[in-house]
Structure 1
Amino acid sequence: MEDRCVIILNHTLPSGKAANAAAVMALTLGQRYPHFVGEPLCDAQGRAFPGLITSGVPVLAASDEQLAALYARCEEQQLDRILFPAAGQQTTDYAALTAVVSETEATRWPLCGMAVVAEKKALRKLTAALTLFA
């Protein structure tokens, strides 16, 4: 079975903060799942450029309540997820972020979003009620 990934953003995020959250989670996805990235792309002159993800990454929208429910379902199903706590957009100091989030259980973090990796069918079932982020 082939794994896929999806990024789910809090629907209240303005476009700049949404782009930032998606980019941060995508970098982490690429680091954790290097097999998602395809072979280098070569142009007509033979110049190579880094490969792109081969299956695409849907970016979906969810409310706070939907994100909390998705977190719980991922926990129950033991699906891998990357969380982007809202505190991550309130500082540029990673040590400060780690200190802030360590004070609260992850289930209670306000989220900008989360990325989820799962088998294609399980991921579709998990996210069926969500729409594309606009």
Structure 2
Amino acid sequence: MKEKDTKCVMIIDENLPLGIITNTAAILGVTLGKQAPELVGQDADDASGQSHLGIITIPVPILKGNKEVIRELREKLYTSDYEDVIVADFSDVAQSCNVYSEYLNKTSNTLEEEHTYFGIAICGNKKKVNKLTGSMPLLR
């Protein structure tokens, strides 16, 4: 992915408690970093000689949504028009689990339509991402 042609955003349910909103953003951010490691910059040394790990090289706005908006976006993103876009989601199914093996088991026994999505991250072609999210307000 080329930085100038790439856009990443997160859409998080504004109705969630602050702790769940921040947890959702953190989890989606780690997942994006794994899926698009080329967007993470090199480590940086400060003037004191201390090293700071590389961070993402492009902005990642966090946009306001709700569970219905997030579900609609997710449905659009899983069509052939968006198969080249990275999509990460975080739901009540994942949030309710304490260990990953529990998440895998619970997910395999839960239909997609039974998931309540807390947030979704989208990363890909800037025009495609803007088409879906360009008019959405920032989560503040």
Query: What's the TM-score, normalizing by structure 1?
Result: 0.90
Q: Tell me, yes or no, if structure 1 residue 118 matches structure 2 residue 106.
A: no
Pairwise mapping of residues 123-134 of structure 1 onto structure 2 (< 5 A)?
A: 123-134=129-140
Cα 1:23/1:37, change in 2 over 3 Å: same
* 8 Å CA contact retained: 2:64, 2:138: yes
Other-structure match for 2:25 = 22
In structure 2, what is the equivalent of residue 59 of structure 1? Answer: 62
Q: Is 1:73 paired with 2:76? A: yes
How many Å apart are 1:46 and its aligned residue?
2.9
Query: What residue is the counterpart of 2:112 in the other structure?
Result: 106
Per-residue CA shift, 1:55-103, capped at 9, x if unaligned?
1111112111111110111112223201111122222122222222212
* Distance (whole Å) between structure 1 residues aligned to residue 112 and residue 34 of structure 2: 22
Is 1:6 matched up with 2:14?
Answer: no
CA distance in 2 between partners of 1:106 and 1:54 (Å)? 33
Q: Give the count of matched residue pairs.
A: 134
User: AA paired with 2:137?
Assistant: T
1:89 aligns with 2:92: no
Structure 2: state its 5+ residue gaps: none
Given residue 95 of structure 1, which amino acid in structure 2 is its aligned partner?
A: S
User: Is contact 1:68–1:107 with CA below 8 Å preserved after alignment?
Assistant: no
Q: CA RMSD in A?
A: 1.6
Q: Which moved more, 1:3-12 or 1:19-28?
A: 3-12
The Cα of 1:108 is off from its aligned counterpart by 4.0
Q: Please name the residue that 1:35 is paired with.
A: 38
The answer to whether the 8 A contact 2:12-2:119 is kept is yes
- SS of the equivalent of 2:109 reads coil
Q: Aligned AA for 2:99?
A: D
In structure 1, the gaps of 5 or more residues are none
**What is the percentage of aligned positions where both structures have the same residue?**
29
Give the letter for the 1:58 counterpart. P
Instruction: State the distance in 2 between where 1:108 and 1:36 align.
Output: 33
Aligned partners of 2:7, 2:114: CA distance in 1, in Å?
A: 26
